Amino acid sequence: MFSILKNLRFKILALVFAAIFWVFVVSMENTFYKLPDAVPVHVFNQAEDLALASEIGSVSLMLRADETVALKTLSAGDFEAYIDLKSAGAGMRNVSVFVTSKNPSVSVLKIEPSEIEVELEPVEEKLVSLEASIKGEPAHGFSIKY
Residue ranges of the domains in the chain? 31-122
Contacting residues for 34 by C-beta, under 8 A, at least 6 apart: 60, 61, 62, 63
**Which three-class secondary structure state does DSSP give residue 126?**
coil
- Give the per-residue pLDDT at 60: 92
In angstroms, the CA 64 to CA 78 distance is 14
β-pairing verdict for 50-52 and 31-34: unpaired
- Give the per-residue pLDDT at 139: 86
Q: How many CA atoms lie within 13 A of 66 on its CB side?
A: 3
Q: With beta carbons less than 8 A apart as the criterion, state whether 29 and 51 touch.
A: no
Convert the pLDDT of each residue in 72-115 to its tens digit: 778 888 899 999 988 877 888 889 999 998 888 788 888 999 99
- Give the per-residue pLDDT at 4: 66
Structurally, what CATH architecture does the domain formed by 31-122 represent?
Beta Complex (2.170)
pTM given for the model: 0.62
Measured over the CA atoms of residue 112, residue 115, residue 119 and residue 120, the dihedral's sign is: positive
90 closest CA partner among 59, 42, 40, 54: 54
**Which three-class secondary structure state does DSSP give residue 120?**
strand
- Give the per-residue pLDDT at 75: 82
